[in-house]
Structure 1
Amino acid sequence: MAELAQNTADISMIPAEEKLISPWKENWQSFYTNKLAVIGLGIVIFFIIIAIIAPWIAPYSYKDVVLVDRMQAPSSKHWFGTDDFGRDIFSRVLYGARISLWVGFFSVLGSVVVGTFLGIVAGYYGRWVDTIISRIFDIMLAFPSILLAIAVVSVLGPSLQNALIAIAVINIPNFGRLIRSKVLSVKQEEYIMAARAVGMKDARILLRHILPNSVSPVIVQATLAIATAIIEAAALGFLGLGAQPPMPEWGKMLADSRNYITQAPWTLFFPGMAIMLTVLGFNLMGDGLRDVLDPKMKQ
């Protein structure tokens, strides 16, 4: 009794803010201590804001052609200079943020939804279902991702929407295999077996128990996949298979300017820098989320 009273007294002496800390607050505190992750988050937020307010801060329309102003160097009139059609590069880079982020977010969203569904089904039911889905994933992963994306766009036709679909398709196996491996371990937990024993339906088990306990690595992978999707969209645009003129997609801007690398290097520098900074921001933020959400990374 004396020991119990002493333990109770010790607990009562703990400050209230240290007794109950919500998981969200704890994760944010861990994330906030990672300075690189905070920098990455700041970069991502900056480009999201730029994409939202681009029509209000761009000094010119992204499709205005002024041939008398072609190939002008950066100046007070054109901060990033002009391209071979006299279009303002600063305005086109601002509008390009909309396109790149749109492709990155929604292609990854499609990959997450489809890949998570297939991975959960394969991991939970196993047997022939798992075999079929896993073999499909293996076949898709046997091809280099960019070549598979080129093949999909070639079949569907070159356009921004078809590039988005292609990027979503090639990333499905990554999320599917990730969630499958997590489900294989989670479904062996005692609370899952107890749920089955009391007659809980599979759909309820999957939605209420397995999915919430398997989604953490998917969040981290999705953040990193957005950066990859932006690069893949730029690659398809560079090859002429993504956004079509006059849309100011960063990869397409690089392709249109590659013949002027010595004559007008600013036409490549600023779109390339935008791609680099955006990808860097998502990578830094993704690494920070991995450190917070992955139990193996915690001290």
Structure 2
Amino acid sequence: MMSDSTVITDLNEAEEGTSLWKDAWIRLRKNHLALFGLGVMLFLCTIALLTPWIAPYGYETQNLQLGAAPPSWEHWLGTDIFGRDMLTRIMYGSRVSLAVGFIATGVALLIGVLYGTVAGYAGGRVDAVMMRLVDILYALPFMIFIVLLMVVFGRNILLLFLAIGAVEWLTMARIVRGQVQSLRRQEFVEAAISLGLSRWTIIRRHLIPNTLGPVIVYTTLTIPSVMLLEAFLSFLGLGIQPPQSSWGLLISYGVETMEEYPWLLIFPGLALSITLFALNFLGDGLRDALDPKASKD
């Protein structure tokens, strides 16, 4: 016969239970590579935020007599051809590169989630028309579209954020649309319809929150893609312009002088590579942690 205390303990454990997010966090903590990626990103974001106060030198401080000097105790990552400290320029470049990654991804997230949710929930002809538009946009050379925007409207950093975000939402829309199509047949959606809730209320309260798992995973994989696109545009001279700096722009300068001053290419390239690896590790870990099938193992 079970004692009263044992019964109470079992009831408490049953009441506590677990949630999807708590279960996902438990699985994520077991993935050491994902935790490493998360730690690296938190460290880089902290450095980017504190750069104006912790940078060893001023952003535009030059020493023309010093010129391009290799790494030393005074300049840990060396200097560029104008005698500017490379560590300082990489730290300031992280602010722009990470901002492009997060803000442009945020724009793509906003457009893609709303568009995909409406298409998936509406279904029928509305869905067909909306997704055919996505197919048409996929066929367009978006690199040329971004280049034209930068040429016509000028090299504005805000325009760069919006332009990159505006071309990265298509895959997000397809992912969300597929999730919503499977969710709209669930009982909780039918119950909301029977209660007389409007379509926008159902979309806002029931559908979008239930697509957050795949959306979060794809977001972590979109950020490195956006950062690479910004680096490519800066490499072509169409992205961030001096006196501002980004990792892509520093890599562009490094390529021009890599034979004489290899550190001008190596260190910005390492910064970008480490960030991309960290984001991919984190994205893979989140994908495994939020996989509903994994919770059954």
State the TM-score, normalizing by the size of structure 2. 0.91
Distance 1:250 1:204, change over 3 A: same
Report the equivalent of 1:99.
96
The alignment status of 1:257 with 2:237, answered yes or no, reads: no
The alignment status of 1:243 with 2:214, answered yes or no, reads: no
Distance 1:77 1:190, change over 3 A: same
Is 19-28 or 281-290 further displaced after alignment?
19-28
Contact preservation (8 Å) 1:123, 1:180: yes
Aligned mates of 1:43, 1:175 — CA distance in 2: 25
Report the equivalent of 1:109.
106
The alignment status of 1:67 with 2:53, answered yes or no, reads: no
Matched residue count: 294
Contact preservation (8 Å) 1:73, 1:266: yes
Report the equivalent of 1:49.
46
Report the equivalent of 2:277.
280
Report the equivalent of 1:20.
16
Aligned mates of 1:146, 1:278 — CA distance in 2: 23
CA RMSD across the alignment: 2.2
Is 196-205 or 182-191 further displaced after alignment?
196-205
Q: Which runs of 5+ in 1 are unaligned?
A: none
Shift of 1:14: 4.5
The alignment status of 1:231 with 2:228, answered yes or no, reads: yes
1:1-299 equivalences under 5 Å are 14=10, 20-23=16-19, 24-143=21-140, 146-298=143-295, 299=297
Cα shift readout 1:84-123 (whole Å, capped 9, x = no counterpart): 1111110000111111111111101111111111111111
Percent pairwise identity: 37
Q: Which runs of 5+ in 2 are unaligned?
A: none
Secondary structure of the equivalent of 1:69?
A: coil
Shift of 1:254: 1.2
Aligned mates of 2:7, 2:174 — CA distance in 1: 44
Shift of 1:212: 1.2
Aligned mates of 1:21, 1:94 — CA distance in 2: 44
Shift of 1:217: 0.5
* Matched AA of 1:161: L
Distance 1:110 1:75, change over 3 A: same
* Matched AA of 2:212: V
Cα shift readout 1:213-252 (whole Å, capped 9, x = no counterpart): 1221111111111111111111111111111011121111
